[in-house]
């Protein structure tokens, strides 16, 4: 993609054939991070080299780790838990909340001081949720209003015991990573089970970590042994193509080697419940992560009512699910989504505004959205620099009566750099203005 900030989808074609989805962003982040603090050489294949993941590579290079990139392969030469060095300047996480929160667990355990910041969007996002449990374990941390930039001034000194009331894999992973550096047993519990890529990867690396339902127990100050890691293709990215295929007549696609971690497949379960023709075949496991091939055919979808634990299993896919709901006959109601207000944008507000601009009837509260299915008439939508909002409204152009213009789209590069190229390869007319 170029750096032009507005995209217009003027003509859409049905999607057919096999489509290659890039590597999983969450798993790529974690592979780079754990490779950087392991003993030995980690070769990461099918890496997602998006802007977010490049920020993670650059951050650990600043911390003294030798990392090289060869096409989609990332090679990390780790020298162990205690090998990180004082960075020469502030670490910039860019737009990546995953990097900012996960690396904070590591920085809070180092003997040296460091500072992390982010772009104008990231510095507005809540960080107190990770600062407070790290401080309870003895870390000395400075932050204004619980937001970036964060300064880590003295390391935590005792095992972590924490129960998270916010369903967030980033909080959990931050604390797991901090626990690796502290001698003794840390226990982290979560009220709602969230994506478990960090735990799965540590178990794959034979690290002493045990899981009892929602409780994770970590034995700290133990060696992380390097192994090669193959990254599944990203189900969050696949979701945009899946919904596009469902809502556009005569579509029929196959997506290969998609990660189908049960804590990430909420979007598949919900779409099937809505009447989607989706089949998962050739189920298998790679590096302790389940993967499958996914076949999708265009389908007539029914409205849905959602609330509760399912939301944590599709939190990143909610914007594109809203597009699917807008294509149904009837009213969909999705509750318990207040966490969307703390993403790259206030996603409830961004999606409400955009849907209404395109002719869809929407009502929201602080914690819910009600979408009445209708006709996309076309128009202009501001994505507010949010990659998932931008891609969702580009997909709405597949069924819009008139062109859809989406502004402020540069951040698509943070998660799905070849998204527009894939759509163009399938004869969709998309251009920059």
3-state SS, residue 379: strand
Dihedral (Cα; 324, 329, 330, 334), 10-degree rounding: -10
Active-site residue identified among 52, 196, 234, 316: 316
CA 199 to chain centre: 16
Which two structure tokens, joined as six digits, stand for 425? 């390869």
The radius of gyration of the chain's CA atoms, rounded to the nearest angstrom, is: 21
SS3 labels along 130-186: HHHHHHHCCCEEEECCCCCCEEEEECCCCCCEEEECCCCHHHHHHHHHHHCCCCEEE
Write the DSSP symbol of residue 324: H
Asked if 428 and 8 touch (Cβ cutoff 8 Å), the reply is no
- Round to whole Å and give the CA distance between 92 and 58: 9
3-state SS, residue 396: helix
Is 316 considered catalytic here? yes
- Round to whole Å and give the CA distance between 433 and 207: 50
Cβ-based neighbour number of residue 12 at 10 Å: 24
Instruction: Output the CA angle 178-99-189, nearest 5 degrees.
Output: 45
Active-site amino acid positions: 316
């Amino acid at each position: 993609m170029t750096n032009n900030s507005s995209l217009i989808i003027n003509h859409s074609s049905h999607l057919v054939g096999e489509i290659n989805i890039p590597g999983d962003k969450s798993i790529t982040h974690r592979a780079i991070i754990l490779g950087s603090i392991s003993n030995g050489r980690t070769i990461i294949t099918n890496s997602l080299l998006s802007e977010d993941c490049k920020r993670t590579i650059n951050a650990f290079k600043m911390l003294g780790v030798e990392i090289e990139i060869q096409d989609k392969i990332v090679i990390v030469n780790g020298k162990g838990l205690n090998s990180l060095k004082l960075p020469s300047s502030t670490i910039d996480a860019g737009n990546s909340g995953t990097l900012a929160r996960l690396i904070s667990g590591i920085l809070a355990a180092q003997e040296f001081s460091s500072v992390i910041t982010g772009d104008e969007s990231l510095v507005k996002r809540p960080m107190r949720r990770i600062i407070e449990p790290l401080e309870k374990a003895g870390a000395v941390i400075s932050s204004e209003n619980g937001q970036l930039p964060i300064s880590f001034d003295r390391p935590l000194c005792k095992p972590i015991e924490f129960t998270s009331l916010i369903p967030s894999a980033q909080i959990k992973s931050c604390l797991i990573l901090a626990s690796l550096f502290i001698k003794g047993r840390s226990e982290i519990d979560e009220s709602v089970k969230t994506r478990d890529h960090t735990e799965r990867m540590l178990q794959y690396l034979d690290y002493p970590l045990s899981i009892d339902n929602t409780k994770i127990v970590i034995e700290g100050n133990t060696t992380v042994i390097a192994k090669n890691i193959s990254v599944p293709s990203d189900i969050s990215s696949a979701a945009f193509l899946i919904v596009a295929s469902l809502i556009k007549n005569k579509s029929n696609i196959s997506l290969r080697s998609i990660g189908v971690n049960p804590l990430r497949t909420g979007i598949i379960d919900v779409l099937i419940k809505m009447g989607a023709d989706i089949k998962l075949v050739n189920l298998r496991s790679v590096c302790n992560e389940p993967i499958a091939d996914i076949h999708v055919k265009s389908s007539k979808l029914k409205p849905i009512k959602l609330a509760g634990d399912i939301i944590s299993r599709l939190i990143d896919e909610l914007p594109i699910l809203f597009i699917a709901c807008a294509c149904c006959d009837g009213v969909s109601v999705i509750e318990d989504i207040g966490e969307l207000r703390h993403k790259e944008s206030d996603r409830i507000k961004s999606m409400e505004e955009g849907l209404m601009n395109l002719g869809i009837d929407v009502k929201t509260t602080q914690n819910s959205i009600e979408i009445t299915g209708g006709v996309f008439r076309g128009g202009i939508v501001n994505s507010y620099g949010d990659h998932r909002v931008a891609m969702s409204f580009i997909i709405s152009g597949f069924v819009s009566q008139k062109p859809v213009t989406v502004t402020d789209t540069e951040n698509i590069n943070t998660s799905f750099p070849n998204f527009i190229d894939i759509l163009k390869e399938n004869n969709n007319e998309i251009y920059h203005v």
